[in-house]
Chain A
Amino acid sequence: MALLGRRNVFLLLAAIACVVPAFANPYHLFVANLVLIYALLAIGLNILVGYAGQLAFANAAMFGIGAYTTGLLQVHFSFPFWLAFPCGALVATVIGLALALPALRLSGLYLALSTLAFAQFTQWVFLHWEKITFGAGGFKTPRISFDPLPISKPVGLYYLSLVIVIAFVIFAQNVIASRIGRAFVAVRDSEPAAASLGVDLLRYKALAFGISGFYAGTAGGLYSQMLNFVSPEGYDLFQMVLQKAMIVIGGIGSIAGSLLGAGTVILLLEALREVKGAQEVVFGGLLVLFVIFLRGGIVSVLRRYVAGWDEPLRNPQREAEPDAPPIAATVEKPAQ
């Protein structure tokens, strides 16, 4: 393994992350925690879009469902956070699994739009089911305490997020390196070919949607506890574009890229916090620029110039190698 390979770099980053609370001010700690939460979102979305090739737009809705379930169980049924949090992740996973059913019949544009419609439907429920969700104003969630431990809530939550992110990164790496990951890539590259090789489309699409729902639901639970406040606008279309921008900037079809993308996007977002219009222009513009000029994201540059950034099952089609013709171009579209 090369000295500057991704394993060493991420070990170093994890080590730094462990000591961040010792010297960071509350705002820096907040941003660091935000990066961790978005890392979960980006990895989940990348497994679904980058590896399994399902162009879904429901990730922000899953994030919201996780946050709402966690928060509402605490408020309405006075569940403790430790119970509500896994419940939120579970509900998001189940809804994610259910979304795989339309994905069996739909692909490409149609899937994108039906999941987009689903996401807007979720927004609408958050806004209008006022008896349960408290409508547009949102609601406050109780603060957890790490009582026996001598740490404050932000620090405790930060370490909780850090442990979860490390565990989930390792889990994602192993899933991708396993039979499941290869099945995802087979489904992405050609569904008929995958099916004829004995890949069960229903099972693997459901698995991809379920995993991404689980990641997003977990992130949602942590997010609701970090802000102690849940409202519909946190889970809207802009949220979706942020998450898409993360995987495109970091690298589609790359776990390391998801982490890099989450970090980059959150730092940019914090730099632009003042102006909503500027955020939209910058992230929309970055999405276009990366799609056109750097299809493989930041991670493809690292792969080319630094040893040790190759990941299993990387996608040569989306690499930014100008002379290599894209694979899709050689496949004839069916006549319409």
Chain B
Amino acid sequence: MSKRIDVSDLNVYYGDFRAVEDVSITIEAKSVTAFIGPSGCGKSTFLRTLNRMHEVIPGARVEGKVLLDGDNLYGDGVDPVTVRSQIGMVFQRPNPFPTMSIRDNVLAGVKLNSRRISKSDADSLVEKSLQGANLWNEVKDRLDKPGSGLSGGQQQRLCIARAIAVSPDVILMDEPCSALDPISTLAIEDLINELKDEYTVVIVTHNMQQAARVSDKTAFFNIAGTGKPGKLIEYADTATIFNNPGEKSTEDYVSGRFG
């Protein structure tokens, strides 16, 4: 399953401070959408509002609408727990649960909400998810070893396996390669390319080549200055953003003439 996301007039606040201003954007299903922009421009904050993970931060709140195939994530009676089980997230630093084995890490999301799963179903789900994350061949002989014993890149793919094991509609990735070496980065980028056959993928990245390599559409965020809110400057096909951007600031940023 994959679903499209329609965001209209979204504002994000930390207490009184407006961190993101008036973002409207449509993210297509079964595609990879990249958010780029300088540090502090609100792209990670905005990403978190797509599965209500910003609510973990004290004082953070949102105004506006985020529709997942027409259902407002911020509607009355919507449970953030349900939202997050349908919109998965991969973080900047790989974060497999250190107290769980590789196998239990993959099953962590599936076993939530007291759902039960038979051993054979669990085995096939673990294999399918790890294969989906291109990790199966590397770990199939040590599924009962702790996930924290893997390399950084393997841990990140384990986190992706954990996210896809619950078959979400959307996968959000917050700079998933920034803590990884180039080879592991390549492995993740290949994986992102495969993931878009089944999922809607949204990725925040500081690496513009990465955005150019993996994404179908790119959104450029920017801030006018410190203390000002982040804004969506331009959103278009990735080729357009990098070769023929409509805005001067986009061109400056992607060509490295920024600031």
Chains A and B are bound partners: no
A: residues with CB less than 8 A from B are none
B: residues with CB less than 8 A from A are none
